Amino acid sequence: MGIIFSTSLHKTTTTTNHHIFILSGQSNMSGRGGVTHHHWDHIIPDDCKPDPSTIHRLTANLTWETAQDPLHADIDTSKTCGVGPGMPFANAIKDYVTGVIDLVPCAIGGTSIGKWGKGGMLYENMVKRAKAAMSSSGGEVKALVWYQGESDTSSKRVAEGYKVSMESLIRNVRSDLGLPVIQVGFGLKWVGSEWVRVRTGSALLLVFSTWYTGFKLRLHIPGPRNALNAVSVAIASGEGKYVEVVREARKAIDLPNVVCVDAKGLELKEDKIHLTTAAQVELGHMLADAYLAHFG
Q: Which of 18, 56, 274, 285 is catalytic?
A: 274
27 labelled catalytic: yes
Q: Which of 39, 175, 220, 271 is catalytic?
A: 271
Strand order in the sheet with 194-198: 194-198, 187-191, 203-209, 216-222
d(CA 99, CA 111): 33
| 102-123 burial: b if 16+ Cβ within 10 Å, else e | bbbbbbbbebbbeebeeeeebb
271 labelled catalytic: yes
Query: Residue 82: which of 37, 115, 131 has the closest Cα?
Result: 37
Q: Which of 19, 24, 27, 47 is catalytic?
A: 27
Any residues with CB less than 8 A from the CB of 284 and at least 6 apart, and which? Answer: 47, 48, 84, 85, 86, 87, 88, 89, 90, 91, 92
Concatenated DSSP letters for 77-116?
TTS---B-SHHHHHHHHGGGSSSEEEEEE---TT--GGGG
69 labelled catalytic: no
Q: Name the residues annotated as catalytic.
A: 27, 271, 274
